[in-house]
Amino acid sequence: QQQVKQSPQSLIVQKGGIPIINCAYENTAFDYFPWYQQFPGKGPALLIAIRPDVSEKKEGRFTISFNKSAKQFSLHIMDSQPGDSATYFCAASIRGNNNDMRFGAGTRLTVKP
């Protein structure tokens, strides 16, 4: 049961570019939207997360933009580096109810030197 749709499936950018990954959700009860980064052979690791009371959150080179009315949120990576090459997953859940956390299908990002 997919409740979080993620696009694109894959993305290739040059070093210094700004890749943008988009997600859309269906359940209006979701109120916690994390992004996870996964390197090959490793488990996903929390990168950044946002709650719907703000429209943007920035942590270092990573920014989440959130549009509550459109039920969409996106991840922007500023000044991307080859070390950012990984698979990125968006997710959504109801705060305090992690068993309802739904993951997107993932975006495989390649940053070329």
Rg of the chain on CA atoms, in Å:
13
The edge-to-edge listing of strands for the beta sheet with 56-59 is 4-7, 20-25, 72-77, 62-67, 56-59
CB of 70 to another protein, least distance (A): 21
Question: What's the token pair of residue 111?
Answer: 């940053």
As measured in angstroms, the least distance from the Cβ of 52 to another protein is 13
Is residue 49 part of the contact set for another protein (CB under 8 A)?
Answer: yes
- The answer to whether 12 and 113 are in contact (CB under 8 A) is no
**103 part of the interface to another protein, by CB under 8 A:** yes
List the interface residues with another protein, window 29-48 (CB under 8 A): 32, 34, 36, 41-46
Q: Which CB, 90 or 111, lies closer to another protein?
A: 90
Strand partners of residue 75: 21, 64
Of residues 54-83, those binding another protein (CB under 8 A): none
Q: Site residues (CB under 8 A) for another protein? A: 4, 6, 32, 34, 36, 41-46, 49, 89, 91, 93, 95-96, 98-99, 101, 103-106
